[in-house]
Amino acid sequence: MRLINMHPGRGGRVLLAALPFVILGIAYLIGSALRLAENPGDKLLPSLDAMGRMIEVMAFTPDRRTGDYLLWTDTAASLLRLWSGLAIATVIALVLGLLNGVLPVARAMLGPFIAFLSMVPPLALLPVLFIVLGLGEVSKIALIVIGVAPILTRDLALTAIALPREQIVKAETLSASSWLVAWRVVLPQVMPRLIDSLRLQLGPAFLFLIAAEAISAEGGLGYRIFLVRRYLSMDIIFPYVLWITLLAVTMDLCLRLLRRRLYPWAEVRP
């Protein structure tokens, strides 16, 4: 049988999916054991025990100075920034993307401008944001918005433009105004794509968040990682990175479920 015709069964799929994770884990454990055998004080690849102890300290022991549980306060601070940024970016993308996608006049005016803005490297603007907006929350949220909104907007506009022209004309023959075409024909059909687009932007959003926190913050997941970096505390950094990844994966999954729940028609294949 040709390789292209071999499909794994249910059990086989789970096994195959688990394989890379298992290999990565084993590789880490071997590497860590080898380095620790050579030098028990090695900090680069800490043992699972060491990481477990630090998780205990960060997540379940109140901080001696402030009395906070650091992992949770960091998570709360970071998620608040991330979600605010993503929410604002989504609203901007919805308004500008729809305008752009539905109205030729708006497209003529905004299209080139948004295409230009989306090419500005957001991280290069970070110093400007810190100087203009201060070192508080606003500048960090603004960085996420500037990084994510133009791409969401363009993607939404492209999806709207790609809708068959026939549908728009059809809606007009059903007495739709411009507003009703946007509201009842275009908007519902671009929403699934917007959710997918948002899923793809979770990675960049975290990148901007951590970059901003690394430079100036009083708390947050990125802040903590860059703080303990000074002490080579891999036993904190690794669990934090894993935690951030888990958060992103969970958000991705939730968005996927949301899409399936809200837009069942998008899952129907002829």
Partner 1 sequence: MTALTIQGLWKEYGAQVVLENVNLTIAPRAFVALVGPSGCGKTTFLRMLLGQERATRGTIVMDGEPLPSEPGPDRGVVYQRYSVFPHMTALQNVMLGPELRAARLTGRLWGAARRKLADEAVALLAEVGLAGAEAKYPAQLSGGMQQRLALAQTLMMRPKLLLLDEPFGALDPGIRTEIHTLMRRLWHEHAMTVVMVTHDMREAFALATRIIAFDRPRNRPEERERYGATITNDIAIWPPRVAGRQTIYDADIDPVQDDLNRFAITAGTTRPTEGSLP
- Residues in contact with partner 1 by CB under 8 A are 164, 166-167, 169-177, 179-180, 183-185, 188-189, 263-266, 268-270
Cβ closest to partner 1, residue 93 vs residue 185: 185
* DSSP secondary structure code for residue 42 in this structure: -
Give the ranges where the chain is alpha helix by DSSP (H): 10-38, 48-60, 70-102, 104-117, 122-133, 137-162, 165-173, 178-180, 187-215, 221-228, 234-262
How many C-beta neighbours within 10 Å does residue 165 have? 8
Cβ closest to partner 1, residue 21 vs residue 265: 265
Cβ closest to partner 1, residue 106 vs residue 228: 106
Rg (CA), the chain: 23
Would you say 35 and 44 are in contact if contact means Cβ atoms under 8 Å apart?
A: yes
CB of 168 to partner 1, least distance (A): 9
Cβ closest to partner 1, residue 138 vs residue 191: 191
Would you say 239 and 246 are in contact if contact means Cβ atoms under 8 Å apart?
A: no
CB of 150 to partner 1, least distance (A): 26
Rounded CA separation 223/225 (Å)? 6
Rounded CA separation 262/192 (Å)? 9
Cβ closest to partner 1, residue 21 vs residue 179: 179
CB of 166 to partner 1, least distance (A): 4
Cβ closest to partner 1, residue 10 vs residue 269: 269
Rounded CA separation 182/102 (Å)? 7
CB of 64 to partner 1, least distance (A): 56
CB of 149 to partner 1, least distance (A): 25
CB of 101 to partner 1, least distance (A): 15
> Sign of the C-alpha dihedral, residues 148, 151, 157, 162?
negative
Residue closest to 228 by CA, chosen among 71, 48, 76, 61: 71
Cβ closest to partner 1, residue 103 vs residue 180: 180
CB of 3 to partner 1, least distance (A): 32
In single-letter form, the type of residue at position 5 comes to: N
